[in-house]
Chain A
Amino acid sequence: MMDCRQFEHLISEYLDGTLSEEQAETFVAHLFSCAACRALLDDVQAALELCRGVEEVEPSPDLNERLRYVLRGAAMSCDAFGELIPNYFDGVLTADEYHLFEAHARVCSNCRQALEDVTAVLRLLSEVGPVALPEGLNERLLTAVRSADRDLRRSWLWQLRRRLRAWRLGWSGPPRSLPLPQWAMAVVLCAATFGLVFLNLSGEGGEVSIRPSIARLFDRAAEVRAEGERMVEHLEQWRAQVSAFLRSFRPDRERSEEKRPSP
Chain B
Amino acid sequence: MQDKQLRPLSAIATGETVKLAKIDAGRGLNSQLASMGLLPNVEITVVRNSHPGPFVISVKGSKMMLGRGIAHKIMVL
Tell whether A pairs with B. no
Residues of B within 8 A of A (CB): none
Q: A residues within 8 Å of B by Cβ?
A: none
